[in-house]
Amino acid sequence: MEFRGFPYTPYSIQIDFMKALYHSLNQGGVSILESPTGTGKTLSIICSALQWVYDRRQQDKSKVQSPHHSTDDAHIGSDDEPDWLRNFVPNKDNLTQEKKINKKFGFGGCDRRRNRKESCKDLFSRDLEEEDCNKRGENKSSRKKNDGVELSDDEFLLDEYESEEEGALGGGKSKRKAGGVSISSSSDEEGEKDGSDGEEEEEEKAFKIYFCSRTHSQLSQFIKELRKTLFSNEINVVCLGSRKNFCINEEVLKLGSSVRVNERCLELQKNKKKNEVSKIKNFSAEGRIRRTKASSGCPMLRKHKLQKEFRTETSQHGALDIEDLVRIGRSIGTCPYYGSRSMVPAADLVVLPYQSLLSKSSRESLGLNLKNSIIVIDEAHNLADSLISMYDAKITSSQLESVHSHIEKYFTRFRNILGPGNRRYIQTLMVLTRAFLQTLDNKKDLSNVNNCQAEEIAADTKAVCDTSIAINDFLFSLNIDNINLVKLLQYIKESNLVHKVSGYGEKVASLQEGLALDHNGGCGEEGSTLSSFRALVDMLTSLTNNDGDGRMIISKMRSTCSGLLGGFLKYVMLTGEKIFSEIVDEAHAVILAGGTLQPIEETRERLFPWLPPNQLHFFSCSHIVPPESILPIAVSRGPSGQSFDFSYNSRSSLVMVEELGLLLCNLVAFVPEGIVVFFSSFEYEGQVYDAWKKSGILERIMRKKRIFREPRSNSDVELILKEYKETIDGLSRGTKDGVRHNGAVLLAVVGGKISEGINFSDGMGRCIVMVGLPYPSPSDVELMERVKYIESLGEPNCGKRPEISVGEHYYNGDAQTAFSILRSCKRRGKEYYENLCMKAVNQSIGRAIRHINDYAAILLVDMRYASDSSKRSFSHPTNKLPLWIKDRLVSATNNYGEVHRLLHHFFKYNKKRECQ
Ligand code: SF4
């Protein structure tokens, strides 16, 4: 098996990885492929997966031409291959030549694409919709006006809504047809079709590849790698992203947050619809068409021809990332968000963020068809947690107050003219929101406003006012268990209540205050009124889940010296298997790829417990670098012999913090270039920094290397990293304080921006210091709910009532209860908690080695990392390290002198090797 699309001569581990992936695609089902960062994983994925699709399509084509044609792997790399694949040498000249040849093979090349009949019906062809809107408009105008309604308020009056069965709420079917745009969930789905109506279904490509990753920069990186291969010009590839990433309407963009951009865009689509309705009405009444107001719709979507031009233009350029698509959209003057969406059906490869693929509503709204597709999920560590968190729902007390007051005002205004159906549902909504607000009210705490000290402590520990409760218990405790939430949600969706109520509220507010509302309709802290309604709908939807699928977190309002701290209700989804089974059932193959994916057993139990272990394929390849380029050491003592124990109870010891400082003073003296020190939290980093400053240690370190600290704000990270790099590169040596530095130290935080997505190749990270074991806070109620749930997995009554001896079902998040939960866990729950810690460690330390000539030392500073490797238990933290680190770990040293000698020798050796 050869992978001639690979642009260089692959290393043996890259060939192994590509073969494993190819084999996985032959088998179908679920595979987990682990390859350390810096080993060319992305390029290997591209070349193997696209090769497989190419081969498979060729085989299918041959089958059609000759029913007796063999389809086994023997054909791969045979004489049947087109010349371009066999003779491929990646240089510009033959790329151009090969492009001409391969037009008749495999994927749709760009020339072919150019000639392809443009079959996408434009985005604006709304004949059917207009007809429908027209009917709705006529219905509305024929509705008898009620005496009490001023003409100007008529637009906010709800259409009649009747249930077949009177009495029990929502007991019957709605007689009213769904109409208008409604809010249905926090995903993008609302009104998605507004932008894409009228698109004609293109034939789906067989074995379409969906590649998803976490961040947009990772997706851009993927496109960069794709461009290095011959496939770049041979396939139809499209990159999807959020409106916020794609939007080119400056007025909308300046709203800032994704939620606001989404809402405004959808609102514009809605306005466009309205204007189209009025346009048709004008035509009927006066026999001529009036011009639609210039303000209708988004100007970037007005000319459908431009969308076609966008598709044609982008198809000329091979693989494009989001920035490229935005550039083209801007130059043409048409929306790249809707432009790229319209290219999905014809694509061979769709590159998109996690959320868009893993969330069902996003998939539906984007029209993604996963049937027989190949799904590659990159950076799949913590996939189970990421996946289920997409189904969480949260509503704050201020959002509840906003929704409640809007509904109340609306009801007061229209109660006498609303039909019984509308009245009953609206009253039910008021009952619900009032009940939610009451449960967040914390009278005891609010009456205690003078006890600042106690309150600040409460605010600091955050979780002490949080409780968790099962869905049914929650509904019973609020006395709302008799409400049919499914019918209520149906009503909200069909009646267009959200827009009517919020629209009326905004109008009243603007009239009363004489204020011109901004486009977002009066934004509070958590966004607009629409966002608040959206949050309520999400919460109600969550409450329709099975009792055991998740838990409710109640975080009550509380007072602090600085003011009232708002509470919130949060639904935390606990099970991911149902969500993931929908994807696995549809797709031909699902590949989870990543640098560190162990332990796979936990992933299997949480995401696909129905799969027998032998049907889950796992492959792990070693690292590309030679053993002498990595030196991981468990450091249990500092230079003066003080032992390191950074567990929660002892980490504040000043003696130990100082010992850590002495260790760093020693390191900066001989470790070249950059040292990255990871702490478990911003708070602890701050504590250590202040102690070092006080004791003069900071000054001693700064005589050798400049110190940088990870900022809390993500937007400042880039600047800090730039300065850190410049200092290491020698660009700013001696310029800051007259001291000639021999590099820099970066104090970073596990789980922060730096530990997740930043690479510390070469001088950026010659030594990574991990301080302690960064266990997550046991006071986190959500986390402990997950621990309990995971502990119950595999038990006969899984998810119902975890067999844990905590006693009561109300858990209030205090550390002692949390520790007793952890102690009660026999296996899975405890292991999950420990895995979270080691996954975070692996993420942080795995970013130091990025290519074959790179080298770095990794210091795991805590006596809990040290062990006698022959007696090490299965659950020992170092057993959860990636294989390529674990195999080279110096797990025990007699004293710090030995650590120093090993490091000295390591850097001397590698420096020499670098110079050769
Ligand atoms: S249609 Fe496109 S450009 Fe216009 S507001 Fe929406 S995302 Fe922005």
Tell me, rounded to whole angstroms, the distance of Cα 781 from its chain centroid.
21
Query: 């494993």: which residue's tokens?
Result: 20
Residue 134 Cα to ligand 1 midpoint, Å, equals 25
Query: What pLDDT score does 527 carry?
Result: 57
One-letter amino acid at 404 equals H
Contact between 577 and 607 (Cβ < 8 Å) = yes
Q: Which residue has the CA at smallest separation from atom 2 of ligand 1?
A: 335
**HSE on the CB side for 397, CA within 13 Å?**
16
Q: Using one digit for the tens of pLDDT, what is the confidence trace for 188-221?
A: 444 444 444 444 455 677 789 999 998 888 899 8
Residue 243 Cα to ligand 1 midpoint, Å, equals 7
Identify the CA nearest to 376 among candidates 208, 234, 601.
208
**HSE on the CB side for 213, CA within 13 Å?**
20
Query: What pLDDT score does 538 carry?
Result: 92
Ligand 1 atom closest to residue 268's alpha carbon, by position in its atom list? 5
Residue 803 Cα to ligand 1 midpoint, Å, equals 51
- Distance between CA atoms of 751 and 230, rounded to whole angstroms? 37
Between 190 and 640, the more confident residue is: 640
- Distance between CA atoms of 470 and 548, rounded to whole angstroms? 7
Ligand 1 atom closest to residue 264's alpha carbon, by position in its atom list? 5
Angle between helices 41-65 and 12-27 (to 10 degrees): 40
Q: Using one digit for the tens of pLDDT, what is the confidence trace for 40-80?
A: 889 999 999 999 999 998 888 777 766 554 444 434 333 33
One-letter amino acid at 835 equals N
At 255 the three-state DSSP class reads coil
- Distance between CA atoms of 845 and 863, rounded to whole angstroms? 18
Element (H, E) at 152: none
Count of Cβ atoms closer than 10 Å to residue 737 Cβ: 9
Query: 């009036």: which residue's tokens?
Result: 290
Residue 266 Cα to ligand 1 midpoint, Å, equals 8
Ligand 1 atom closest to residue 243's alpha carbon, by position in its atom list? 7
Kindly state the average pLDDT of the residues 812-818.
Answer: 62
- Residue partners of 474: CB distance under 8 A and separation at least 6: 543, 552, 554
pLDDT band at 839 (very low <50, low <70, confident <90, very high): confident
Number of helices (H) and strands (E), helices first, in the chain? 37, 19
Q: Using one digit for the tens of pLDDT, what is the confidence trace for 274-288?
A: 555 444 444 444 444
Query: What pLDDT score does 675 carry?
Result: 95
Identify the CA nearest to 229 among candidates 107, 146, 138.
107
Q: Would the pLDDT of 471 be above 50?
A: yes
Q: Which residue has the CA at smallest separation from atom 7 of ligand 1?
A: 247
Query: What pLDDT score does 679 carry?
Result: 95
Which among 192, 243, 259, 325 is the best mutation to test ligand 1's pocket, defined by most ligand atoms within 8 Å of the CB? 243
Ligand 1 binding residues, C-beta < 6 A:
195, 243, 246-249, 252, 265, 268, 298, 300-301, 335, 337-338
Kindly state the average pLDDT of the residues 548-572.
Answer: 80
Q: Using one digit for the tens of pLDDT, what is the confidence trace for 332-365?
A: 999 999 999 999 988 999 999 988 898 888 888 8
Q: Using one digit for the tens of pLDDT, what is the confidence trace for 151-178?
A: 467 777 777 766 544 444 444 444 443 3
Winning range, highest mean pLDDT, from 77-81, 681-685, 846-850: 681-685
Between 78 and 819, the more confident residue is: 819
Q: Would the pLDDT of 242 be above 70?
A: yes
Residue 245 Cα to ligand 1 midpoint, Å, equals 10
User: For a pLDDT cut of 70, what percent of the chain falls above it?
Assistant: 72
Q: Would the pLDDT of 455 be above 90?
A: no
Residue 502 Cα to ligand 1 midpoint, Å, equals 22
- Distance between CA atoms of 320 and 327, rounded to whole angstroms? 10
Q: Which residue has the CA at smallest separation from atom 6 of ligand 1?
A: 265
Q: Which residue has the CA at smallest separation from atom 5 of ligand 1?
A: 265
Identify the CA nearest to 334 among candidates 154, 171, 122, 555.
122
Identify the CA nearest to 250 among candidates 198, 347, 326, 192.
326
* Angle in degrees, CA 62, 64, 65, rounded to 5: 65
**How would CATH label the architecture of 12-118+205-239+348-373+587-619?**
3-Layer(aba) Sandwich (3.40)
- Distance between CA atoms of 64 and 343, rounded to whole angstroms? 27
Query: What pLDDT score does 127 carry?
Result: 32
509 CB burial (10 A radius; 0-12, 13-18, 19+): middle
Query: What is the SS3 string spanning 605-655?
Result: HHHCCCCCHHHEEEEECCCCCCHHHEEEEEECECCCCCECCCCCCCCCCHH
Query: What pLDDT score does 185 carry?
Result: 46
Query: What pLDDT score does 815 carry?
Result: 64
Residue 299 Cα to ligand 1 midpoint, Å, equals 8
Q: Would the pLDDT of 478 be above 70?
A: yes
Q: Which residue has the CA at smallest separation from atom 8 of ligand 1?
A: 247
Topology given in CATH for the domain delimited by 627-776+839-915: Rossmann fold (3.40.50)
Kindly state the average pLDDT of the residues 393-402.
Answer: 93
Which among 252, 259, 331 is the best mutation to test ligand 1's pocket, defined by most ligand atoms within 8 Å of the CB? 252
Count of Cβ atoms closer than 10 Å to residue 484 Cβ: 15
pLDDT band at 821 (very low <50, low <70, confident <90, very high): confident
- The segment(s) of the chain belonging to CATH 3.40.50.300 are 627-776+839-915
Kindly state the tokens that stand for 70: 């063999």
Q: What is the DSSP string of 821-869?
A: HHHH--SHHHHHHHHHHHHHHHHHHTTS--STT--EEEEEESGGG---T
Residue 338 Cα to ligand 1 midpoint, Å, equals 8
Kindly state the tokens that stand for 235: 């396939």
Cα 791 to Cα 111, 154, 179, 785, 801: the distances in Å are 56, 56, 45, 10, 11
Query: What pLDDT score does 521 carry?
Result: 45
